[in-house]
Amino acid sequence: MKPIVKIKNFLLLFFVFISPSLEANKTTHIDTIYLGSGCFWGAEKGYESLDGVIDAQSGYANGYGIKPNYRSIIQLKNKYNDNNFAEVVKITYNSNAINLEKILKHFFETHDPTQLNRQGNDIGTQYRSTILFSNEKQRQLAIEIMEEYQELLINAGYGKVRTKIEPLDNFYFAEDYHQDYLKKNPNGYCPDLSTGIVFNDANKTLLNNEPLRKGKQILVLDSQNYCPYCEKLKLNVTDEYKGSIPISYRTSDQLHGLQVFSPTWATPSIIFLKNGKEVFAHQGYIDHKDFYELLGKFKLGDSEAFNVAFNKGTDARFCKEYEIFKNTPDGVFIDKLSGMPLFDTRDRFVSRSGWLSFTKPVEGSVYELPDNSYGMRRTEIRSISSDIHLGHVFDDGPNGLPRYCINATVLEFKPRNEAI
């Protein structure tokens, strides 16, 4: 019986002293890696978008003799200081849900690792490309992935990878205003400085840009990776657009055959093309009001329609557009820029005023503002979709109904069977 007692005692000691380590092993699938690829703002959000990443936090790593804060690392004297801190992102991830290989491939695909101590216009040692490992397994994998990407880059005509792979020596969290920066600053852009080279491009297709070389086109430069500003632009502006000028989406590596002069590293960017050549562009997120003002300049140019839409001008009485629109067949008048319905021919009547007249707008299509210009008290009518000026509403319509007095130059017409 004594041996059994000894075994029992041994098992008791085993669970007392060994079980804490077994308990700790339950969380060994939670791991961290520290990656620097230029400015940490966009990088942080990109990592957070990956399934399996628990958290991404901005910070400063592997600096010596310098205070670990933003003000210190951007000082001119530290711009080319090899001891400067690197802007990095601490990535905490569940290795059961995402492996480090996928994270490292995302790292290389989302910046230009061939640039030394810079990414685009961000120049200095704090913007260096770096992988900071915590163990030998991470180091070996980082080297393997880097060598694989180097081969892809060489085949595409790029130079040597400048990414520094070294052990993590120190790390300090960045200031609060740097954490979740893109969430705190909703009207901006995501820096997209990637080479466009991906690890597996077997499914990558060459898009046909020939349609973009014909007439006027709107080109939205999208990110090759997750970009909250791009998603916000689609949600708030472009998804609702129904105008006559086509809108297309491309990434910076899909502009073949087009003459684009503006930098393509900021997403989203809106590029206005004519016959495949850039007329002008806007970098960064833009709200619907500013988008339509740019579109107005592009589509309407220096015209009476632009003056009406954006300077609250008024059509000449019995203008050409009025004469065309006063007797159209059954259909709908739409916003000349957004393409959204504004007025219905069923509500049109002849007022003999020299302007198009309606008893009501399409429900939810316009809003009213008081207008006391020129010594008069009137009510202005504006389009909800594009915010352009449409005309005024008066109380002298037929049978006691309102008279919506609308400028024809800011409208287009669609037969009912073609209307939205």
Catalytically active residues are: 39, 405
In whole angstroms, what is the distance from residue 79 CA to residue 381 CA? 54
Of the CA atoms within 13 Å of residue 239, those in its CB half-sphere come to 7
In whole angstroms, what is the distance from residue 227 CA to residue 246 CA? 23
Q: Kindly report the number of other CB atoms within 10 A of residue 294's CB atom.
A: 16
Q: Kindly report the number of other CB atoms within 10 A of residue 258's CB atom.
A: 17
Strand duo 403-406 + 356-358: pairing: antiparallel
Strand duo 122-123 + 171-173: pairing: unpaired
Question: Which residues pair with residue 30 across a beta bridge?
Answer: 94
Residues 6+ apart with CB under 8 A from 376: none
In whole angstroms, what is the distance from residue 261 CA to residue 264 CA? 9
In whole angstroms, what is the distance from residue 403 CA to residue 360 CA? 8
Start-to-end C-alpha separation, the chain:
90
Residues 6+ apart with CB under 8 A from 383: 335, 338, 340, 342, 365, 366, 390
Residues 6+ apart with CB under 8 A from 370: 377, 378, 379, 380
Bond before 186 cis per omega within 30 degrees: no
In whole angstroms, what is the distance from residue 408 CA to residue 325 CA? 7
Angle, helix 288-300 to helix 304-311, in steps of 10 degrees: 160
Nearest to 163 by CA among 122, 111, 202: 111
Phi, psi of 204 (to 5 degrees): -80, 125
* Sequence letter at residue 104: L
Task: Dihedral sign for Cα 379, 383, 387, 391, please.
Answer: negative
